[in-house]
A and B are shown apart, each in its own frame.
Chain A
C-alpha cells in the first residue's frame, strides 16, 4: 500500500535552513503529483507547495514563495522541501501527500515537526 515517510525535521534558529525528505513506496512515484501541507501547533491545515509528476511544474503558497523549494527525485521515489530563511511562523508539522488523479485525493505521511526558535 501507499507509504510516505517524512524526515528531516528539527529545531532551527530564525533565518536558518532545513531540508525535509519524504520517502515513498507502494505506488509508481514518477506518475503522481506530490504536495507539502503543514499544520502549526493547535491550528488547521495549510497547503505549502505542490510539484507535478513532470518535475518541472511547481506551485507555492505566497507565505513560502521565494524561501521554500519543492523538488523530487523520481529515481529515488523521494520528495523534498528545501526551507530557507525560516521564520518562527514556519513552526509546524509538515506532511507530504500524494495526489490522486487530480490535485487532491491525498494520501498522507505521518508528518515531521519543524520548530523555528531562538
Chain B
C-alpha cells in the first residue's frame, strides 16, 4: 500500500498570511502518462470533504486562486497565498494511482 504522510499535523495561521502543507508518498505517484495522481481535499467543520486540487496541481471548479498545488513524484505541497477565516478545516491529500486509495492523516488549519 502507498503510505501518505502529511505535515504539519496542525497549522495555526494569521489571516492574510501564507500557509503551506506538505504531503509525501511512499511511492511515486507519477504515471507513465505524465499525470501525478494526487488530490487535495478540505473538510470544513461539520461538512463533507470537498475537492480543492486534482492531479497534483489542477484547481477544482470554484476554488479560489489563492490555493495552489505543486510537486511531482513523491513530494507535493498545497499552498494558500493569503489565508482567510473561511479556510479553516482539515486538509487531506489522497493518492489515486492504485488501490487501496490512501489518504494522508490530515492537517488541521486554524486561525490564530
Q: Is the CB–CB distance between A105 and B51 below 8 Å?
A: yes
Q: Is the CB–CB distance between B103 and A104 below 8 Å?
A: no
The contact string, 1 if C-beta is below 8 Å from chain A, for chain B 69-105, is: 0000000000000000000001010101001111111
Instruction: Give how many A-B residue pairs fall within 8 Å (CB-CB).
Output: 63
Task: Provide the residues of chain B in CB contact with A95, threshold 8 Å.
Answer: 48-49
Nearest CB of B to A40, in Å: 13
**Residue B67 lies at the interface, judged by CB distance under 8 Å to chain A:** no
Nearest CB of A to B26, in Å: 16
Q: Is the CB–CB distance between B37 and A47 below 8 Å?
A: no
Task: Provide the residues of chain B in CB contact with A106, threshold 8 Å.
Answer: 39, 41, 49, 51
Q: Which of A44, A59, A106, A108 has the most CB of B within 10 A?
A: A106
Nearest CB of B to A48, in Å: 9
Nearest CB of B to A41, in Å: 13
Contacts from B to A (Cβ < 8 Å): 35, 37, 39, 41, 43, 48-51, 54-55, 60, 90, 92, 94, 96, 99-106
Nearest first, the 10 A-B pairs at minimum CB distance are A104-B96, A47-B101, A59-B99, A108-B48, A105-B54, A45-B103, A103-B96, A104-B39, A44-B106, A61-B100
